[in-house]
A and B are shown apart, each in its own frame.
Chain A
Amino acid sequence: MIRKIFFPALKYLILSMGAFIMVLPFLWMASTAVKPPSEVLSWPPEFLPRHVTLENFRTVFATAPFVRFFFNSVAMATLCTFSVLLTSALAGYVFAKFRFPGRTALFILVLATAMVPFETYMIPLYISMVKLELVNTFIGLLAPYLIMSYGIFFMRQNVLASIPDEIIDASRIDGASEWSIFFKVIFPMLKGSVGALSIFAFMQTWAAFIWPLIITSSRELWTMELGLGMFQYRFTVDLGPINAGSMLSIFPVLLVFLLMRRHIIKGITLTGLKG
């Protein structure tokens, strides 16, 4: 009897305490973001704001071009997601279904680069950008995120698992060209994995930090993450606006996550993608 009650109770106690720690920073951020300045720096800290205000959000928009940062991030993440999807689906499909000299070598080359952290080759990449005069340009900003090794690997696995050769052959006999087979038959069939990959690519690009930090010099090109990072240095004492800015940066990602939780977790577990 004791075992039946005690162990589940202990289990949920541990899990709840853990979950509380997981969520607390987010709640604290939200609470700080809507507090008036007089309440932010109070001792002991007040968990709930006494007066809810949107003043901090107004300050954020007034002191830094956060609208600009937001749209830069949206544009960058969207373009890179499309590019990753197209290149991954195309290359994944070809690596899975076509035989040609050099296939294995090229695939291994793509896969091997997946293991190499970006930080170990960002210096030469930056130098290439200097030579091409792409420093502090939008193209330079998004270049490294246009492709994803794991994406190609992931799409190849999915093509192998879910697309039978017969379907491709049948379309060929119907006289469809190879390109139209890819766009009209294969791509729609990969809907589920395209969904998982697109969410992942979007989030990864959105969270990018070190590359935007080194490649941009003018504020006009800053992303949400970089803008927030710089903003919090300059206004160290204005915790209300800083947390309001953080809320703005988290919001799109959180929304996508809560809407598409299953897809995201599936994508991550299938490929061991990094979060």
Chain B
Amino acid sequence: MNRMELQKRIFAYSAVIPVVLIFAFLRVIPIFQNFLYSFFNSTVVDPMQEFIRLENYQELLKDNLFLLSLKNTTLFALFVTVFSVGLALLVAVLLATRTKLGGLFETLYFLPVITPMVPVAVVWKWIYDPTYGLLNYFLSLFGIKPLGWLVYPDLAIWAIIIMSVWKVIGYNMIIFLVGIRDIPDSYLEAATIDGGNKFQVFRFIILPLLKPILLFVTIISTINAYNVFTQVFIMTSGPQGAPGNAVRTLVFDIYENAFRYFKTGYAAAEAVVLFLIVLLLTLIQLRTGGKEK
């Protein structure tokens, strides 16, 4: 190895090693520790107090709050994904041709994506207000009686779903727009010359070519939806938890068990469940995404 090669090697290691060490400390080690702690009866001060094998996991299966959280989160993820992907696809198709007005629409649809969650959750909470809320006012115009949007558990999850769809549509839309605009014009022209109408062009040209992106967006939306926390925390609970605790989600349950009841190992086991769900979704994305290419 000559001198220049040696210098290159020294630089590469001295640049990468500190970064990798920070990574190890802030990401890699905690990810593994979380698995480890889930097999222990633990406290914050002593995370490995007593090795209890799978007891935390056995507890989880009997824990109604956990099962409720899992059910709520799955329902939430399912509906947020279906609605936000479907509506975003519709908007993207309508905005596919670049126009001045289209650029304005893009910006407006994208606005909720870039805004932080807390202020928008605050204003949606106000919109959902049972007595003076804007939503109940609009509904009253159609003769619908006022509803306690964030109060009734059955309704509260839908209120959170609607708000979350609103928040992420713009993100999905942007990704779809890139995909649709990448389709060569000649494909679309050829289809139109062959006598295809707009719907047929969408169904037989755009949709099949968009499939890998559609899958990507669906998986990303589902993963993000499984991590829902902030809007639930702001809109349906108080700092003391209960009584307004209408929608319990997985991360909320993890947060409460770990940081309010200090059942660290137990909460770590819940986090492992979340990890496995995300892992499964990622693997689906990698496998089918790989096949497409």
Partners in one complex: yes
A binding-site residues for B, Cβ under 8 Å? 7, 11-12, 14-15, 18-19, 21-26, 28-29, 32, 40-45, 87, 90-91, 93-95, 98, 100, 103, 106, 109-110, 113, 115-128, 130, 143-144, 146-147, 149, 152, 172, 177-179, 182, 203, 206-207, 209-210, 213-214, 225-226, 228-230, 232-233, 239, 242-243, 245-247, 249-250, 253-254, 257-258, 261, 264-265, 268-269, 272, 274-275
Closest 4 CB pairs of A and B: A178-B11, A246-B119, A124-B33, A207-B116
Cβ contact within 8 Å between A22 and B112: yes
- Bound together, the chains give a CA A113 to CA B282 distance in angstroms of 12
**Known A15-B105, A32-B126; contact A21-B166, beta-carbon cutoff 8 A:** yes
Write the nearest CB–CB distance from A232 to chain B, whole angstroms.
5
Q: Cβ of A228: which chain B residues have Cβ within 8 Å of it?
A: 118-119, 122
**Known A90-B15, A98-B12, A121-B27; contact A210-B47, beta-carbon cutoff 8 A:** no
Cβ contact within 8 Å between A100 and B34: no
Q: Cβ of A144: which chain B residues have Cβ within 8 Å of it?
A: 26
**Residues 1-22 (chain B) with a chain A CB within 8 angstroms:** 4, 7-13, 15-16, 19-20, 22
Write the nearest CB–CB distance from A5 to chain B, whole angstroms.
15
Specify the chain A residue showing the minimal Cβ separation from B198: A7
Cβ contact within 8 Å between B111 and A22: yes
Write the nearest CB–CB distance from B140 to chain A, whole angstroms.
8
Specify the chain A residue showing the minimal Cβ separation from B36: A124
Cβ contact within 8 Å between A94 and B229: no
Asked whether B175 is an interface residue with its Cβ less than 8 Å from the other chain, the reply is yes
Q: How many residues of B contact A (CB 8 A)?
A: 95
Cβ contact within 8 Å between B91 and A18: yes
| Interface-located stretch among B57-65, B152-160, B204-212, B232-240 | B232-240
Cβ contact within 8 Å between A116 and B275: yes
Asked whether B37 is an interface residue with its Cβ less than 8 Å from the other chain, the reply is yes
Could you jot down 23 A-B contacts, CB within 8 Å?
Answer: A14-B94, A15-B91, A19-B108, A22-B170, A24-B134, A28-B123, A29-B126, A42-B132, A43-B132, A100-B13, A115-B279, A117-B227, A119-B251, A147-B19, A178-B7, A210-B230, A232-B122, A232-B234, A245-B119, A249-B118, A250-B119, A254-B114, A257-B111
Q: Cβ of B233: which chain A residues have Cβ within 8 Å of it?
A: 209, 213, 229
| Interface-located stretch among B78-86, B188-196, B252-260 | B252-260
- Bound together, the chains give a CA A93 to CA B11 distance in angstroms of 11
Contacting A117 at CB < 8 Å: which of B125, B137, B178, B274? Answer: B274
| Best-surrounded residue of B23, B112, B227, B233 (most CB of chain A within 10 A) | B23
Convert B96-124 into 0s and 1s, putting 1 for each residue whose CB lies closer than 8 angstroms to a CB of A. 00000100011111111111111110111
Cβ contact within 8 Å between B126 and A116: no
Asked whether B25 is an interface residue with its Cβ less than 8 Å from the other chain, the reply is yes
Q: A11-B94, A232-B125, A254-B115 are in contact. List 8 more A-B contacts (CB 8 A).
A: A22-B108, A23-B108, A23-B111, A110-B23, A126-B258, A178-B11, A250-B120, A264-B114
**Known A22-B170, A116-B275; contact A128-B30, beta-carbon cutoff 8 A:** yes
**Known A100-B12, A100-B13, A121-B27; contact A130-B45, beta-carbon cutoff 8 A:** yes
Asked whether B223 is an interface residue with its Cβ less than 8 Å from the other chain, the reply is yes
Cβ contact within 8 Å between A119 and B118: no
Q: Cβ of A229: which chain B residues have Cβ within 8 Å of it?
A: 118, 122, 230, 233-234
Asked whether B66 is an interface residue with its Cβ less than 8 Å from the other chain, the reply is no
Q: Cβ of B126: which chain A residues have Cβ within 8 Å of it?
A: 28-29, 32, 239, 242-243
